[in-house]
Amino acid sequence: MFSNSNILITGGTGSFGKRFVATLLERYQPRKIVIYSRDELKQFEMSNMAPFAEHDDLLRYFIGDVRDLPRLERAMEGIDLVVHAAALKQVPAAEYNPFEAVKTNVIGGQNVIDACLASGVKRIIALSTDKAAAPINLYGATKLCSDKLFVAANNHRGARDIRFSVVRYGNVLGSRGSVFPYFAQRRTSGVLPVTDERMTRFSITLQQGVDFVLDCFQRMWGGELFVPKIPSYRILDVAAAVAPDCRVELVGIRPGEKLHEEMITDTDALNTVEFDDYYVILPSAHLWDVEDFCSTSGTQPGRRVPFGFRYNSGDNPRFLSAEELRTLAATERYA
């Protein structure tokens, strides 16, 4: 699917985008990769980094904003596959600048959909977040709205050979703005500010996130919301892994923050199918035969989750230890 294809990624200069492009270059032979983002400096820096600098022949850097529909349509000419990763994702910034988050995360998402429908794109995956499940902050609410837009886009494809799906996962280990690099920066102060000692989060590495998205391109029928089975961590274990000699100072939960994150609520569970290493929240509209989907989409047949199921970081059966977190952080160069 990826070799000999033209692929575009919005927000392509971000943490996920760079790892996604690097993985495509390492494993496949794409015809062209378009990095669509609004920051010329980040594009310049990326173009001079390994392994991107060695692939000037197939990388294209498009300056543009997902708020700009005509620019998106121009960038998507001849594109086969799209990953929509562009977003305003900082919770406090979204709370302080609410409509800016709406313009990028909601209106920008609809612009991506419209540009794909107009340009002959075949497959689109939009990245979501655990904060979109039962959201209590504006960022989560805008991403939930975006998720709904991308799922519903399948209702309007007409005769086009096009599929829209969504991938939702938890905190990306070592990504910009995550707790790992923040704690690493605070080590020299001797004090780590922790919001609440009970706090837990889902955890996934950048490479695991990229691999899951690549797998979902192969699995997608259109309209699914894919959720990987991933471990959780406790915030105090992160502190012990990154800065074991620092004193922890409790500062209180920030506005819009949860003690535990969810990726599947008990209401979502009514429409959720479990496979060996991931879940799928099915589209509310009847787009295809669910039984056929369950029997052919995984290495083992899918099965409905039990009544009352929920996927919550606080009662996840798998937690990473401080030692495991230390090893992962070292892999991501933030230990």
Q: Which residues are annotated as catalytic?
A: 131
Q: How far apart are CA 173 and CA 170, in angstroms?
A: 9
| Residue in 116, 298, 276, 148 with CA at minimum distance from that of residue 221 | 298
Three-state SS for 149? helix
Q: How far is CA 191 from CA 177, 249, 255, 285, in A?
A: 18, 7, 22, 51
| Residue in 81, 77, 149 with CA at minimum distance from that of residue 113 | 149
Three-state SS for 98? helix
DSSP 273-299: EE-SSEEEEPPSS--S-HHHHHHHSSS
φ, ψ of residue 64 to 5 degrees: the values are 180, 160
Q: How far apart are CA 47 and CA 329, in angstroms?
A: 26
Tell the residue number behind the tokens 């290495």, with chain if given.
Answer: 299
Three-state SS for 57? coil
| Residue in 212, 213, 225, 219 with CA at minimum distance from that of residue 294 | 219
Write down the H helix ranges in the chain.
15-27, 40-47, 69-75, 91-96, 98-102, 108-119, 138-152, 179-186, 206-219, 235-242, 290-296, 322-331
Angle, vertex CA 198, rays to CA 147 and CA 335, nearest 5 = 80
